[in-house]
Chains A and B, each alone.
Chain A
């Protein structure tokens, strides 16, 4: 069973690398969707008993939300937009990939030093979760478009969730669903805001959002 978990975790790392190196908005959305599906698979693979209803139900919700609903909402928010389809990073793709590799090394090092949260679980859970969170934060700060910031937020959530699925057991299902509901509303509100940003500015580049600041007038 642990082999299955490891395989899914490695796939999540690979999707993160693809995302960091990808240049087109459409690709990014699809990669994040794929990562969401992988997270659903991880929920199933990490479940202790396959017979309980909890894991399949949760996995189905995750796949439905992260694999289908979010990508659909986000592509809708920017559909027909007169936006350039490239994501225009502040940090180049090659440097980004290099930084991601460094982040992976740091996560593996840190994961080996932390006490194992759950001895029954794969040793890769903590490093992969930390790495995914870092990739998410990196995408938020290094990419220009508001849409990529939402994608970065989702990747970060994925990392946090991977940690939750892998290392924590026994959270009541109702609470997990409440967390997912919050996430759904968050992406929904962000999608609406993206739509307004596009309408107001005719683009979704956040480096143009600089009207509010101190001192300079």
Chain B
């Protein structure tokens, strides 16, 4: 089953590269996404057997993130059919600076998209720390060409920054792997292989100094990829320049994969009795990320960058949750799910708005509710969901984290958390509601346009799920999230 999860997208990528016709390729993209989602869904029904001597296996955190990744990819693939159809062929004018540019070949784009899925799947099923590292680095390499789909200098700049900053960050995580290997090399007992179950079992024999150093490197390395401030420099650029469906995957699925790297490291720390060491760091990084995001969201002139900074904020929220421990960890994991689904939906809707208005400036876009009624409604609903308004799921998870902070008597953390959430709510409300309301600049679309189903249904479905999660968390999902949270202590 795990083999199928990895092989389906890889084979799909090969076929996508070989196919001649764009229509066939898009159909195949959707078919692969459905197949992957079906197998990923199947892992809930029957436990997949470990593969490769236990290097690849699915535990609770892995299953949670795998399912989110697979669901988001399916939504993005369906949306992709509509989005790729409206990409104009050949050279055309850039709407910001007026030069001519063209697209990367669609074969390369689709192949990279599928390899990206394969790499993310590898991350979620890796039990070996080295393999996890290989997977995370592979996600960077597969997604850099995706950012450079529209071939002009801004996306090139974004792709270069992404490639270099993340590669350097992830290189530090490789050093973290080696440090962990030193910690496990048997100063106090037999050498332990760098596989999660073995490490957890023998955590007591690990050398504490090297383990702490390793955790720091993992946090900085994978934190770069996850977009924790102040290591987030690549994130707004990449998210604003990439095609919207890629931004949705970067924000909704990729950041979770990097989070999983940190979760694994924290699991080992907790098993070795050093949970508090990691938790303090996570709380600090979490609050700092929220603060930096709040500063940049307030008065942000570019709505895709605003969504990107909102991702920095939410990575901060769930890092904070995991750092608080106990109920906070549950809240953090639940929030990871809510954030992924909501943010992906918002980026997909932003793609529709961008295609209609041909501007990324918040000030240029007015009257979305009248010009694109469905997208406009989803845009406002997505905004309410992402800022944690009841009855959406993010309200529940953010409240759980707040409760954890108060239960532990950390009033300072709770106050800072609430204040930052408030600032961000106001900042985003100003931008989003301004865009949704008002009169469109020209009268052409005032009557409201019928939008292609595929460009709105995926985002709508994702938001519906977030709404459902706010009202009712199915017991199966609840137990997996609780198990994932328990793994972190």
A: which residues have CB within 8 A of B? 114-115, 117-118, 133, 137, 140, 146, 149-150, 153, 156-157, 160, 163-164, 167-172, 175, 178-179, 181-182, 185-186, 189-190, 192-193, 196-197, 200-201, 206, 209-212, 214, 217
Q: Could you list 14 examples of A-B contacts with CB < 8 Å?
A: A153-B167, A160-B174, A160-B178, A168-B182, A170-B193, A175-B128, A178-B134, A189-B141, A189-B145, A190-B167, A193-B159, A200-B156, A211-B157, A212-B161
Q: Are A171 and B194 in contact (CB under 8 A)?
A: yes
Q: Are B240 and A212 in contact (CB under 8 A)?
A: yes
Whole-angstrom CA separation of A150 from B131 in the bound complex:
23
Known: A163-B175, A182-B134, A190-B163. 15 other contacts (CB 8 A): A114-B209, A118-B185, A140-B168, A153-B167, A160-B174, A163-B178, A168-B185, A171-B194, A179-B130, A179-B133, A189-B141, A193-B144, A193-B160, A200-B152, A211-B154
Q: Are A189 and B175 in contact (CB under 8 A)?
A: no
Q: Is the interface of A mostly helix, strand, loop or mixed?
A: helix
B: which residues have CB within 8 A of A? 128, 130-131, 133-134, 137-138, 140-141, 144-145, 148, 151-154, 156-161, 163-164, 167-168, 171, 174-175, 178, 181-182, 185, 187, 191, 193-194, 207, 209-210, 236-237, 240-241, 296, 300-301, 305
Report the minimum CB–CB distance from B169 to chain A (whole Å): 11
Q: Contact check: which of A118, A156, A209 meets B171 at CB < 8 Å?
A: A156
Q: Residue of A at shortest CB range from B240?
A: A212
Whole-angstrom CA separation of A156 from B174 in the bound complex:
11
Q: Are B178 and A196 in contact (CB under 8 A)?
A: no
Q: Are A175 and B164 in contact (CB under 8 A)?
A: no
B residues near A114, Cβ cutoff 8 Å:
209
Known: A133-B175, A175-B131, A178-B131. A214 touches B160 (CB 8 A): no
Q: How many A-B pairs with Cβ below 8 Å? A: 117
Report the minimum CB–CB distance from A118 to chain B (whole Å): 7
B residues near A201, Cβ cutoff 8 Å:
153
Known: A178-B130, A190-B163. A160 touches B148 (CB 8 A): no
Q: Are B157 and A169 in contact (CB under 8 A)?
A: no
Q: Are A211 and B153 in contact (CB under 8 A)?
A: yes
Whole-angstrom CA separation of A157 from B131 in the bound complex:
17
Q: Are B141 and A115 in contact (CB under 8 A)?
A: no
Q: Contact check: which of B141, B152, B209, B300 meets A185 at CB < 8 Å?
A: B141
Q: Are A193 and B130 in contact (CB under 8 A)?
A: no
B residues near A217, Cβ cutoff 8 Å:
301
A residues near B144, Cβ cutoff 8 Å:
189, 193
Q: Are B168 and A200 in contact (CB under 8 A)?
A: no
Q: Contact check: which of B141, B209, B236 meets A186 at CB < 8 Å?
A: B141
Report the minimum CB–CB distance from A213 to chain B (whole Å): 8
Known: A189-B144, A193-B148. A117 touches B210 (CB 8 A): yes
A residues near B131, Cβ cutoff 8 Å:
175, 178
Q: Are B175 and A160 in contact (CB under 8 A)?
A: yes
Considering residues A146, A172, A192, which has the most beta carbons from chain B within 10 angstroms of its beta carbon? A172
A residues near B175, Cβ cutoff 8 Å:
133, 160, 163
Known: A168-B178, A178-B131. A153 touches B171 (CB 8 A): yes
Q: Contact check: which of B128, B140, B156, B210 meets A197 at CB < 8 Å?
A: B156
Q: Residue of B at shortest CB range from A185?
A: B141
Known: A193-B156, A201-B153. A209 touches B185 (CB 8 A): no
Q: Are B178 and A186 in contact (CB under 8 A)?
A: no
Q: Are A170 and B191 in contact (CB under 8 A)?
A: yes
B residues near A178, Cβ cutoff 8 Å:
130-131, 134
Q: Residue of B at shortest CB range from A204?
A: B160
Report the minimum CB–CB distance from A122 to chain B (whole Å): 15
Report the minimum CB–CB distance from A4 to chain B (whole Å): 22
Q: Are A115 and B134 in contact (CB under 8 A)?
A: no
Q: Are A182 and B138 in contact (CB under 8 A)?
A: yes
Known: A186-B167, A211-B157. A179 touches B296 (CB 8 A): no
Q: Are B164 and A209 in contact (CB under 8 A)?
A: no
Q: Which 6 A-B pairs have the closest CB atoms?
A: A117-B182, A175-B130, A168-B181, A212-B237, A209-B157, A182-B137
Q: Residue of A at shortest CB range from B173?
A: A160
Q: Residue of A at shortest CB range from B181?
A: A168
Q: Residue of A at shortest CB range from B213?
A: A114
Q: Are A115 and B209 in contact (CB under 8 A)?
A: yes
Report the minimum CB–CB distance from A57 to chain B (whole Å): 18
Known: A178-B131, A193-B163. A169 touches B168 (CB 8 A): no
Report the minimum CB–CB distance from B170 to chain A (whole Å): 9
Q: Are B164 and A153 in contact (CB under 8 A)?
A: yes
Q: Are A137 and B240 in contact (CB under 8 A)?
A: no
Report the minimum CB–CB distance from A127 to chain B (whole Å): 14
B residues near A163, Cβ cutoff 8 Å:
175, 178
Whole-angstrom CA separation of A149 from B296 in the bound complex:
28
Report the minimum CB–CB distance from B134 to chain A (whole Å): 5
Q: Residue of B at shortest CB range from A115?
A: B209
Q: Residue of B at shortest CB range from A159?
A: B175
Whole-angstrom CA separation of A153 from B169 in the bound complex:
10
A residues near B156, Cβ cutoff 8 Å:
193, 196-197, 200
A residues near B145, Cβ cutoff 8 Å:
189, 192
Whole-angstrom CA separation of A197 from B152 in the bound complex:
10
Q: Are A182 and B141 in contact (CB under 8 A)?
A: yes
Known: A164-B178, A193-B156, A193-B163. A157 touches B134 (CB 8 A): no
Q: Are B171 and A157 in contact (CB under 8 A)?
A: yes
B residues near A182, Cβ cutoff 8 Å:
134, 137-138, 141
Whole-angstrom CA separation of A164 from B158 in the bound complex:
32
A residues near B237, Cβ cutoff 8 Å:
212
Whole-angstrom CA separation of A178 from B135 in the bound complex:
10
Whole-angstrom CA separation of A13 from B305 in the bound complex:
43
B residues near A149, Cβ cutoff 8 Å:
164
B residues near A186, Cβ cutoff 8 Å:
137, 140-141, 163, 167
Known: A196-B148, A196-B156. A214 touches B210 (CB 8 A): no
